A and B are shown apart, each in its own frame.
Chain A
Amino acid sequence: MKKVGIARALFYYYYYPLWKTFFQEMGAEVLLSRETNKLTIQNGIDLAVDETCFPVKVYYGHVQELCRQNIDYLFLPRVVSIEPRSYICPKFMGLPDMIKASMLDLPPVIDMVIDVSINNKMLKREIERIGKIFGRRQGNASAAYDHGLAELEKCRALSRQGFTLREAVKIWEGDPLPPLPGPFDLNIGLLGHGYSLYDPVISMNIVHTLREMGCRLYFPEMLEMEDIEREAATLPKRVFWTLGRKMVGSSLQMEKDPRIDGIIYLASFGCGPDSMIGETIERKMKDKVYMLLTVDEHTGEAGLHTRLEAFCDMLRRRRSISHESYLSSHG
């Protein structure tokens, strides 16, 4: 049985159930890299160019780990665009070339191009091309891909209930439902690109930390796509980064939600879209407290904790003041 290696980083968080189902139906075994750890990060930092953003460096580390395993193929998708007229980011578009340039002993690479910016004809061709690699007949791979999409939908249904994408993938793979932590006295909207937010090492475990501090978290994946798109459309120009538009729409929708006390945006240092989107959101946010956190490989966990604690304390005090007297919290 052929073994296909998939890195547990970047679009793993958004698409793993689809990819796993697809390759299994192609008759392959899927091998996943381990959870991000110190070694992954060290390898990634050594291999990648200094100026790259942290999540991409981590991806290098995962790929390096896979190369040392006994795999027949390495799955390196080129995620250009996952919806019409939008892109992910230039680094995603060049990722297979970047990896190939910096690692010489790569196993055979399946560099599937995912580009539906104009139409999905190219994606269909790519699916059939990969089917052929595994010796499948015309149409066979497309059916497998459709099945993968159905599995992905199951996973997304879980994330709508309030599980992070990482937890959702685990539950989808058969782990028992984790007990929902609690009790909560604050409601916080937590935004960020899934591959940094839900990777506990990149995000310094921000999800767990906030839950421990008594915060019920609202993620962009819990909102309806229609609401996100409607809110994002209030900007004068359509945001052409898929994830960026999702973040703008989610934050505006969360601002309207009376249950939510405050919003935190986790950005990666050196992320191009974040540098523009973080700013746009900050300027739009008029009624709710908003904090932009930037992380990279040098961030100290203690510093992050302090800022989160201060943020929560501030929200609680604000609430108690507005309960006691009906004075405006702005003074």
Chain B
Amino acid sequence: MKVTFPHMGNACITINALLKGLNLEVITPPPISKKTFELGVKYSPEFACLPLKLNVGNFIEALEKGADTIVMAGGWGPCRFGYYAQVERDILKDLGYEFEIVILEAPDHQVSELVQQLKSLGNNISLWKAINTIHFAWMKLQAVETLEKELEFCLPRVIDKSLLQKIYQTALQDTDAACSRKKIQQILHQAVLEMREIPQSRQQIIKIGLVGEIYTILEPSSNYHLIDYMGYLGVEVTRAIYLSDWINDHLLGGWIKKSHNRHIIRSSQPYINYFVGGHGQQTIGYTVDFARRHYHGVIQIAPLTCMPEIVAHSILPRVSEAENIPVMTMYFDEHAGEAGIQTRLEAFVDMLRRKNRRQDNSKEA
């Protein structure tokens, strides 16, 4: 059995650790490229959202590399994601590929069920080994996220940005290859030290909150590397969504670490008073939260036609006015031209800098 899975940012490192720990042979799909986009767009429904198209692209490339089992997550709506696996299976079967698909349906806060699902997927392993594997994968996830946060902090500040990127990429690869907890800690410690040692400029930093749909936030190629580009513009980006938070809140019922979710949902009221699927409510809640933490601006990103984010988008202008924070919404699909995206981002950042300067001046006066 050769197992594959869809990409979502650096989640592949965690998933790799998890599946390998279950004694499975893993085939990681090639990184998302232009070819992935082309394959996905060609075979997916025209009006489906971008993550589905990229999933299909990932799967085709992995199946061509010899994978015969796909692991995919599921769900029970109302967001389209819950039906992804079904449509993807139909598409791939009609293309003539032979494979099995294992769908991990997010159980409602029932850790035991998740452990059971993973154990049944595994290759003759004990419950003890399964739990151990989950813990190891969780550690890798934590390490990766510390690296990501460090990158987001340093990128707008350091002068030699390519050196920083190089350290970050090497650390990611090493974490992926690491097979002991001690090793992970070592790599992390070393990388963070190196990143902090790079000389920093004294340019004023603009702080932006990034809210929106989870896949678009986590997968750089689906947002045309927005976070990196903002870093080059001297903007520190804080994401609303990290994979570990999502897993903690949705799969583990918040027992691994203290959940922030309840506070965010409370912040979203009275602008939005009901669950709308996906991260719609969180988008509003985090925008309010960023505004109250005196961020300079918020950017909402989502795939085109994303339903929960359209609800949030419709409400954001009111939040922006009431909480006094500039907000920009960007949708991405396979047609998004990079130059257009960069121009919009630059204009937004220019506007924020000017606004910020004006406020500083008036304070001094």
Contact = CB atoms under 8 A, between A and B. Distances in A.
Interface of A: 48-49, 51-52, 78, 80, 85-91, 93-94, 96-98, 100-102, 113, 235-237, 239-241, 267, 269-276, 278-280, 283, 294
B305 A90 contact: no
Contact of B48 (A240, A267, A276, A283): A276
A43 B172 CA distance: 51
B150 to A, nearest CB: 34
B177 interface: no
> Which of B82, B307, B313 is most buried by chain A, counting CB atoms within 10 A of its CB?
B307
B256 interface: no
Given A97-B272, A272-B80, A275-B80, 8 more contacts: A78-B274, A90-B78, A90-B278, A97-B315, A98-B311, A98-B315, A241-B77, A276-B45
A294 B47 contact: yes
B47 A240 contact: no
Given A88-B78, A241-B78, A276 B87 contact: yes
Contact of B275 (A48, A49, A93, A271): A93
B311 A237 contact: no
B90 interface: yes
Given A87-B78, A274-B47, A93 B317 contact: no
Given A101-B271, A280-B87, A275 B276 contact: no
A52 B80 contact: no
Contacts of B312: 94
A80 B274 contact: yes
B277 interface: yes
A87 B77 contact: yes
Given A101-B315, A240-B83, A91 B47 contact: no
A51 B48 contact: no
B314 A94 contact: yes
Interface in B72-105: 74, 76-80, 82-83, 85-87, 89-90, 94
A97 B87 contact: no
A91 B307 contact: yes
Rank and list the top 3 A-B pairs by shortest CB-CB distance, nearest first: A94-B311, A87-B78, A240-B77
Interface of B: 45-49, 74, 76-80, 82-83, 85-87, 89-90, 94, 271-278, 280, 304-308, 310-319, 331
A273 B306 CA distance: 11
A270 B80 CA distance: 12
B308 A90 contact: yes
B305 A93 contact: no
Nearest to B269: A97
A13 B89 CA distance: 35
B305 A272 contact: yes
A113 B276 CA distance: 13
B76 A85 contact: yes
A274 B273 CA distance: 26
The interface centre, meaning the residue of A88, A90, A267 with most chain B CB atoms within 10 A of its CB, is A90
B90 to A, nearest CB: 5
B299 to A, nearest CB: 16
A93 B277 contact: yes
23 contacts: A48-B314, A49-B313, A51-B305, A51-B313, A78-B274, A87-B77, A88-B78, A93-B276, A93-B277, A94-B274, A94-B312, A97-B273, A97-B274, A239-B83, A240-B76, A240-B77, A272-B305, A272-B306, A273-B80, A275-B45, A275-B47, A276-B87, A279-B87
Contacts of B80: 272-273, 275-276
A294 B89 CA distance: 24
Contacts of B276: 90-91, 93-94
Contacts of B331: 51
B78 A240 contact: yes
A72 B311 CA distance: 27
A223 to B, nearest CB: 23
A275 B86 contact: no
A96 to B, nearest CB: 8
Nearest to A294: B47
B314 A52 contact: yes
Contacts of A269: 47
Contacts of B313: 49, 51
Contacts of B94: 283
